Structure 1
Amino acid sequence: MRTRPTTATAAGALTAAVTLLLSGCGGSDSEDSGKDKIAGADTGASTPASPSPSASEDGIDRPEVSLPEGDSLVFAPETTGDAKADAVLKDNAEYLRAIDEAIGKQNPKSEAVAFYSKDSAYLGSVEWISGFVKDGVTVTGTVRYFDRKVNFSKDGSAGLVYCADESKGYTKDVKTGKVNVTEASKDSYVLYNDRLRKNDKGVWQTTKSTSERGSEVCQP
């Protein structure tokens, strides 16, 4: 089974993630300098897209995201009929897909991940992907994200609560191709609570994510 970092993990990983991405840059990340900023970690500047973007129906040039071989993510519901809520669901799904792609490519500095996230969510994702790289494993199997519910706050941000079924999602050794199959258990089910904010490109970026593994809310 697999999961993204909790808020505590992401916060604790802040220094490590910054060190990882600024290694060899020789610059600061202060608001005044405007130089050597981490893509996705700032609060206002837009993040770079992939070198080969794809124009979507909403006119936004989005990075092309491809999952690793043998990896599948299922989202339910994909749409609700409400255009604003559906935009949140779509961009959150692409964020999750981008993370899996980055793991498959063993690339913690994925531009697609930076495109769909920022702040603590982005930094936590960098650390999470780096862990897979360090362990020499990728992801495979099927993870199902279900009961996805969106609510909007007065400040313009969106909250997204959903469950993940990782009972058929596994890790795979990059060199040998061996799949590390684990038995399904209570901990195969995870409750997520994400916060998203729409950037100046019109993309709903995930800014914060908390999780509760083994949550009673998500049990089958």
Structure 2
Amino acid sequence: MRSTGTSRRRRPGAALVAALGLLAPMARGEEAPKVACSAARTGRRVVVRPEALALVAPELERLMRLGLAGRLELELTLLRRRPLWFSERMDATKLTQVLAYSAKEGRWLLDGRPLAGVGTLELERVAWTLEEEPEADAAFEVEVGVRLQVVTAASLGKVAQWLTQGEKTEAQRSALTRGLLRTVAEDLTRRAEGRCSVQRP
């Protein structure tokens, strides 16, 4: 005897809609990410203290509180200004750090260092030593670039698994393709650039 009832099975399409809803684009009225820095030179030594503002958007913060970590890439370039010519590149540094929320500790961590919050991120301090003592009137500036990617294709696949726990086969999850994962991951990447003049005490 054939049953007339219909089983309520979760469909891949529904999981796709749920995933895109969770990873919705940033709101239009949202504050754009910015980078600020302060730099000082004493003799041949230049020290830079960069920070990022509004880099963690609400949607990204929500994902990170679910347990995903963010890869934060910081690039700093020391330039010497030259009148009537292009600035001369003196040195550069690239850093990659991990930004994560610890539910156990109830706070944000940047490479294990506790943070007061993510509205303003105090990034790693960078120091350079020039090869020679500059002239008294030499002018320098620092370019800062920061990139935060909370979701990679692999970690977004983890989100898809959360949303499709009742589906047993890969075929049932095929709606969330690798191409879509990469596209959404790139949409959730935040970038900012800025520069500051090197001051002398």
TM-score by length of structure 2 reads 0.23
More helix by share: 1
Higher relative contact order (CA 8 A, sep 6+): 2
More strand by proportion, 1 or 2?
2
Q: Structure 1 length as normaliser, TM-score?
A: 0.22
